[in-house]
Amino acid sequence: MIYDEKPWLKFYDSGVAAEVEIPSISFVDRFNEVAVEFRRRPALHFLGITMTYEELNTHANRFANFLLRCGCGPGDVVGIHLPNLPQYLIAQIGALKAGCATSGVSPLLTPRELTYQLNDCKVKALVTLDATFEHRLAGIFGDLPDIKLVVATGALDFLPGYKRVLGRLLKKVPTGKVGPVTGKQVTTFREVLSRYPADDPAIKVAADDNCLIQYTGGTTGLPKGTVITHRNVIATSVHTSEWARPNTGHEVFLSGFPFFHLAGLAMGLCAMYCASAQVLIPNPRDTKGMVKEIARYRPTILVNVPSLYLMLLEEPGFQKLDFSRLGYCLSGASPFAVESIRALEAVVGEGKLLEVYGMTESTALITMNPRWGQKKIGTVGMPLPNTRVRIVDLETRSTPLPLGEPGELIVSGPQIMKEYFNKPDETANSMRKHDGGIWFHTGDVAKMDEEGYITIVDRAKDMLSVSGFKVFSRELEEKLYEHPAIEFCAIVGVPNPKRPGSDIVRLVYQPSQSYKSQDPEQTKKEILEFARKNFAPYKVPKIIDSVDAIPLTAVGKVDKKALR
């Protein structure tokens, strides 16, 4: 079988091994090594402050001891409901040191969406912003029976006092009141770090213990918790290090991906794995602010979605930056137009853009273009070490297809998830046995050329990509059917002309009988208001069209191809 012969190995960079040893350690083991050997090195930079690995380790130990003394330990789940702040990494490492798994929770989720995720993975301790505590969580705590601990923090808590005061006076950062909640212990992040001891909790964490429960869309319309083990995280870190050869202890990462997104967290953990500093970007849409951070810290590695690179290119200050220290840029989550890549490389340096492909279920990475060798623009590169891929037919989902023919991409490797949390049917549908091994079915349509480079032909069925965020149409459709104006509906993506590779969410609906006589514009306003109450902002339809009848296929399914 041609795929098992791994034709891509001939085009690996010199010195990159086909198979690398994945140490049987937890991420906690690796972090503790880094925290000792590189204790004086910067671990993170945030709005002008720098935290060393020694300081990060001390804070994480205090957070771990807090969790353990409050009854939260091995087997429990800690939800981290924050943007990219120092508190995120402290809580992340602290929770892992306590033997817990973590679940990144998007600050963009509505109360309904929050309730679903927090209950689905049975979050026991939640770290959140004080503003979110007051304005989103206060009204739903009664619907969150598993949560026993709540830790609130301010976005500026780690800045010097005068900067915190100035930020509040200028009202640049929202704040909120934190108060008692019946049946739950509520405290603040600052109190945790001042009250609990800094000694290492010495909890034994194994390589196959759960590390992350990160959420992704589901075929049933509801998000699924992807269970990522410590071994998975170590594998992705080892793969990245083998492939891109970061200079341990000396790199500076800057990523616009949020940590609650697996891509952002995987890069954040990888930065710590190789003892590098990372520049935290709390608001990636503030491109002026990001340009200032790039100028201040001169990162050696950039990681962004294509749409953010395009936004930076539109920022005048970006063109004037010194990128002589920049080793490479990673781009993933959506396609990157050829002309846009050329425009970016004209600024940052020729050959520095590496397109990658991965999923939440693969702990972020499956393929990457070579760092030094032949890059094929428009492809997502080739499989990483220890990674097997096949392109199989879409009907049987098992028969390998000839090179160059599009089919479903399936993958096997040490970075592939353990399972979907408490969803055995979903797990069985995606994790299938072929030739004695377990293969993950991505649902993405791809093809491979004779040199092993992979092109993604289409996204997973019905999935949209909005500025790097995944939007699953069925999740939106099922909720929209609750609105009385909608008899039948479909969500499709419209290419965003201003952001190549990004979609605009479009709702096409067939009005119910009782609404057919109402002014269509008034109905659209009602539907839009309903959507804003129930969906994160990036999921809200930007285009709403009423039609007399939605086209169907021969078997009665919505013909989304015709709609597009």
Instruction: Quick: pLDDT tens for 269-286.
Output: 999 999 999 999 999 889
Q: Residue 556: which pLDDT band, with cuts at 50, 70 and 90? A: very low
> Which residues on adjacent β-strands are paired with residue 367?
357, 383
Q: What pLDDT, on the 0 to 100 scale, is given for residue 219?
A: 41
Residue 224 resides in a domain: no
Two structure tokens written together for 346: 């004209």
Q: Do residues 31 and 7 share a domain? A: no
Q: What is the CATH number of the domain that holds 556?
A: 3.30.300.30
Residues 452 and 468 in one domain: no
- Average pLDDT of the residues in 301-312: 89
Report the pLDDT value the prediction gives residue 116, as an integer from 0 to 100. Answer: 96
Mean pLDDT, the chain, integer? 91
**How confident is the model at residue 184, as a pLDDT?**
97
Percent of the chain clearing pLDDT 70 (strictly above): 95
Q: How confident is the model at residue 220 (pLDDT cuts 50, 70, 90)?
A: very low
Residue with tokens 């201040």: 296
Residue 429 shares a structural domain with residue 314: yes
Q: What is the pLDDT of residue 154?
A: 94
Distance of CA 24 to the CA centre of its chain: 25
Please give the full DSSP string across 399-461, using - where no structure is assigned.
SBPPTT--EEEEEESTTS-SEETT-HHHHHHHEEEETTEEEEEEEEEEEE-TTS-EEEEEPST
Strand ordering across the sheet containing 543-546: 486-495, 503-511, 543-546
One-letter amino acid for residue 81 of the chain = H
Q: Is the pLDDT of residue 397 over 70?
A: yes
Does residue 240 sit in the same domain as residue 358?
A: yes
d(CA 509, CA 550): 7
The model's pLDDT over 451-506, given as tens digits with 9 standing for 90+, comes to: 999 998 766 566 788 888 878 777 788 788 889 999 888 889 988 888 888 899 99
Q: What string of DSSP letters covers 336-397?
A: --HHHHHHHHHHH-TT-EEEEE--GGGTT-SEE--SSS---TTS--EEPTT-EEEEE-TTTS
| Number of Cβ atoms within 10 Å of the Cβ of 248 | 15
Whether pLDDT at 335 is above 90: no
> Count of CB atoms within 10 A of residue 111's CB?
16
* Residue 63 or residue 219, greater confidence: 63
The CA–CA distances, whole Å, from 100 to 187, 213, 340, 381, 499 equal: 19, 11, 42, 35, 39
Is residue 562 predicted with pLDDT exceeding 50? yes
Task: Record the tokens describing residue 521, joined without a space.
Answer: 């514009």
| Any domain includes 221 | no
Q: What is the pLDDT of residue 165?
A: 53
- Tell whether 301 and 403 lie within a shared domain: yes
Owning domain of residue 400: 1-21+230-460
**Total count of domains within the chain:** 3
Q: Is residue 155 part of a domain?
A: yes
Residue 168: its pLDDT value, please?
56
Q: Mean of the pLDDT values across residues 538-556?
A: 79
Q: Are residues 469 and 456 in the same domain?
A: no
Determine, yes or no, domain membership for 147.
yes
One domain, residues 189 and 303: no
**pLDDT digits 0-9 by tens, 307-330:** 889 889 989 999 999 999 999 999
Gap between the Cα atoms of 155 and 153, Å rounded: 7
Q: State pLDDT tens for residues 369-385.
A: 999 999 998 899 999 99
Per-residue pLDDT at 555: 35
Q: List the single range of 74-88, 119-133, 395-409 with lowest mean pLDDT.
A: 395-409
| Structure token pair of residue 82 | 């924050």
pLDDT value of residue 329: 96
User: What's the pTM value of the predicted model, to 2 decimals?
Assistant: 0.86
Q: Is residue 220 part of a domain?
A: no
- Looking at the structure, do residues 337 and 360 belong to the same domain, yes or no? yes
Mean pLDDT is lowest, of 7-11, 349-353, 500-504, for 500-504
Residues 34 and 126 reside in one and the same domain: yes
Residue 222 lies in a domain: no
Place 510 in a pLDDT band, splitting at 50, 70 and 90: confident
Average pLDDT over residues 205-231: 87
Return the pLDDT at 218. 46
- The gap from C-alpha 269 to its chain's centroid, in whole angstroms, comes to 12
Last residue of a domain, one of 422, 440, 460: 460
* pLDDT for residue 554: 40
Alpha helices in 85-149 (DSSP H): 86-97, 111-120, 130-132
Residue 564 has pLDDT above 60, yes or no: yes
Q: Are residues 515 and 429 in the same domain?
A: no
Tokens of 376: 């094929």
Mean pLDDT of 136-162: 91
Q: Answer whether 303's CB lies under 8 Å from 255's CB.
A: yes
For the ranges 120-134, 440-454, 462-476, 520-534, which has the lowest average pLDDT? 462-476
CA 265/CA 261 separation, integer angstroms: 6
Closest CA to 78 of 86, 87, 90, 67: 67
**Do residues 467 and 499 lie in contact, with contact meaning Cβ atoms separated by under 8 Å?**
yes
Phi, psi (rounded to 5 degrees) for 79: -90, 135
Among 410, 445, 460, identify where a domain stops. Answer: 460
Instruction: Reduce the DSSP state of residue 462 to 3 states and report it.
Output: coil
* Within-domain flag for 340: yes
> Is residue 339 very low, low, confident or very high in pLDDT (cuts 50, 70, 90)?
confident
- Alpha carbon distances (Å) from 28 to 129, 281, 373: 25, 24, 34
CATH number for 74: 3.40.50.980
pLDDT for 221: 61
420 pLDDT more than 60: yes
Q: Return the bridge partners of 150, or none.
A: 126, 186
Higher per-residue pLDDT: 478 or 349: 349
Are 350 and 312 members of one domain?
A: yes
Q: How confident is the model at residue 512 (pLDDT cuts 50, 70, 90)?
A: confident
Residue 162 has pLDDT above 70, yes or no: no
**Where do we find the tokens 């939800």?**
79
- Match 């995280």 to its residue by tokens: 233
In a domain, 288, yes or no: yes
Whole-Å CA distances, 72 to 57, 65, 111, 192: 19, 10, 24, 14
Are 399 and 431 part of one and the same domain? yes
Residue with tokens 């395009």: 310
Write the DSSP symbol of residue 498.
Answer: T
- CATH number, domain of 453, equals 3.40.50.12780
Domain closes at, from 460, 485, 500: 460
